[in-house]
Amino acid sequence: MKDTGIGIAPDQLPRIFQMFSQIDRSLEKSQGGLGIGLALVRRLVEMHGGSIEVKSDGVGKGSEFIVRMPVMIEATRLQAMEREEIASSKTSFRVLIVDDNRDAADSLGMMLRLTGHQPKTAYDGQAALAIAEEFRPDVMLLDIGLPKLSGHEVAQRIREQPWGRQIVLIALTGWSQDEDRERSKSAGFDYHLVKPVDFATLMKLLADLSLSIRV
């Protein structure tokens, strides 16, 4: 697919398929979108054995997206791919996603469900605590700037509960300074990921956790 639209700057091409990535952050939210769609498209294409790439000569010169899909896969090869997919997602985590951006939380939940996990969503700090107590997640992806209770407050209260001490808490936030990371660690977070987060990076982290967490 090729268009003659706004185009993409060369330095933005490598991260265009990352979660929460937008090619023009000066756009209003109603125009700029969430930066989730292309990451979701790439995941869906790759799940079907295909690939996607983007080309652009620069800002104002349009963009071209090239999707390649296999026409036919031999039955034995398909079975091998299915076995590999099952093996790679052997551990299915209960994941609680907490973000006041509902579209972002729901879209990330969709992507995690596609990869075999069991997601739930919450959109503020108080709801996160209530759902966590009932759902008992293995992993929480927790934004920091939340209404009602901040992500730091949620993390601290989770750690105070006997059932919350083994939950892997991952900060998923736009705050990236050293002091932000230190404050997350002090609040009880295990990891601090900065938006935009590449979905493959998140999946690798979950895969690494599968070696140390028993569901």
Domain 1-88 matches domain 90-209 at the CATH topology level: no
The structural domains of the chain, with segments of one domain joined by +, span 1-88, 90-209
Strand order of the β-sheet with 118-122 is 118-122, 94-98, 139-142, 168-173, 191-194
| pTM for the model | 0.65
pLDDT 10s per residue in the chain (215 long)? 778 888 888 888 777 777 655 555 443 344 444 456 677 777 777 766 778 888 888 888 888 888 887 765 555 555 555 445 544 445 789 999 999 999 889 988 988 998 889 999 999 999 999 999 999 999 999 999 999 999 999 999 999 999 999 999 999 988 889 999 999 999 999 999 998 777 888 888 998 887 765 44
CATH of domain 90-209: 3.40.50.2300
Element at 139 (helix H, strand E): strand 139-142
Q: Domain 1-88 is classified in which CATH homologous superfamily?
A: Histidine kinase-like ATPase, C-terminal domain (3.30.565.10)
